[in-house]
Amino acid sequence: MSNLYTSYPIPASLNSAARAYLRSLAADMSPVTQIGKGGLTENLIATVSDALEARELIKLSVLETADCTARDAAEALAEQLRAVVVAVIGRKIILFRRPLNPKNRRIELPGRGTV
């Protein structure tokens, strides 16, 4: 599958303060979508990309019936979408990516954790 998201910059890693801050913001979030037995389809990847563009920070849920682990799904999504895996907690994934449109940038990271 070709990477359609090459216009996004390759993300830098997050420092621990930025990662903790993003985890705290995601604590009250509901998952935007679920990864099921179909795995990482093109439609799912497009949905996740659209959600990242609109929100910067999203939470995903990996169902028990999924054919991949949450860690594997998180790493694959992050690589394809040029996002950062903030955390994988159980079957929940938290991803962060700066939107291309500066008007959609709402999150200010503490310290030098800019992405």
> What CATH number does residue 91 fall under?
3.30.110.60
Q: Which domain holds residue 58?
A: 16-98
Confidence of residue 47 (pLDDT cuts 50, 70, 90): very high
Does 115 reside within a domain? no
What tokens does 60 get? 């995903």
| Closest by CA position to 91, among listed 63, 110, 51, 66 | 63
Global pTM?
0.88
Does 73 reside within a domain? yes
pLDDT computed for residue 115 by the predictor? 53
| Closest by CA position to 89, among listed 32, 47, 31 | 31
The residue to which tokens 């679920």 are assigned: 34
The number of domains in the chain is: 1
Residues 54, 98: Cα–Cα separation, whole Å: 10
pLDDT computed for residue 109 by the predictor? 87
Beta bridge partners of residue 27, listed in sequence order: none
